[in-house]
Amino acid sequence: MKFATKAIHAGYEPDPATGAVMPPIFQTSTYAQKSPGAHTGYEYSRMQNPTRDVLQAALAGLENGKAAFCYSSGMAAVDAVLKLLRPGDEVIASLDLYGGTFRMMKQIFEPYGVGFHFVDLKNAGAFERSIGPNTRLVWMETPSNPLLRITDIELISSLARKNGLVSVVDSTFASPFLCNPLDLGADVVMHSVTKYLGGHSDVIMGALVVNDEDLAAQFLFQQKATGAVPGPQDCFLVLRGLKTLHLRMKQHCENALQVARWLENHANVARVYYPGLASHPEHELASRQMRDFGGMVSFDLAGEKASDAIAAMERLRLVTVGESLGGVESLCAYPPKMSHASYSKEERGKMGIKDTLIRLSVGVEDIDDIIDDLSQAIG
């Protein structure tokens, strides 16, 4: 079954009782039992909900996985992965990560005795040299936030497997339409469903997809034990969003490439970060690993003043300044004060995040309107 067909049909057949082509929203907290323990498979909606089951089956299908688990936010999904660890365990993570992931690692789990090493995973040798006797997991984010760096999932996952490590890929920027990390050897693929999977800036959710039965059992238990699960209404909204994922992503990619090319030729832009450009250091890898290059574009304004970047953003009229990404509308973010405010200025400098960096989530509006707005804002 091809992707577009799976996006519309995976995980659900029309309701046998009514013929409904969309799954019902099972807005219930509990389920009737004929006798204690004698139930239909549904006991309590923290543990199971039919609407959530349909969404999880759909996400597993889109990622070519055996099981998917949905959480109340992307950060709850990150939390579920890190709860696989115990005090003394260590993690090797991408040098550049979403600020919320970095914050959780350093401020939540590190005080409990989990160690974190942030490594440039583009350098396989540096990754292997970082592996120690207590290393248990490698965390990749590709394309990375906000500099759109690309990690070789197949290579790092292979090295992780050789060393007995669990390999995790945050594939939020790619979505299943552009890349399927499980097919490349990763053990876990993570999504902030809030972004491209939902696609309409109206829901908060996270998800994990796996093929390994032991990992699936652990994540299933966590859903039951911790209760960080989404409600059925949110699951319904994401199911609706999935049905147009392939259509939206094609337009996101087309628009983003045109924006990136336009920015690359702009006198007031010092550098553009977009894996679809031949100038991107990992363009060749991205061409092999991804089906297209995504809807995210970051760029440095010429000069060094943060105030110039902020002023340009304040002049935007169509593009909305705001947190998040992946919606149908174009959004603009300033990483030093928004997505990566959890990093110190020194840490951002090591990552290559300048004070003049602007991140765009290029929407599906008419490309001429998007570029016109950027043109009047940047000068």
Cite the active site residues.
46, 98, 170, 195
Burial 68-106 (b: 16+ CB within 10 A, else e): bbbbbbbbbbbbbbbebbeeebbbbbbbbbbbbbbbbbe
CA-angle at 357, arms to 355 and 361, nearest 5°: 145
Q: Please name the amino acid found at residue 352.
A: G
Contact 91, 115 (CB under 8 A): yes
Q: Please name the amino acid found at residue 269.
A: V
Burial tier of 13 (Cβ tally within 10 Å: 0-12, 13-18, 19+)? exposed
CB count within 10 Å of CB 154 equals: 16
Cα torsion through 115, 120, 121, 127, rounded to 10: -60
Q: How far is CA 182 from the centre of its chain?
A: 14
Contact 108, 155 (CB under 8 A): no
CA 88 → CA 111, 116, 161, 163, 227, distances in Å?
11, 10, 20, 17, 26
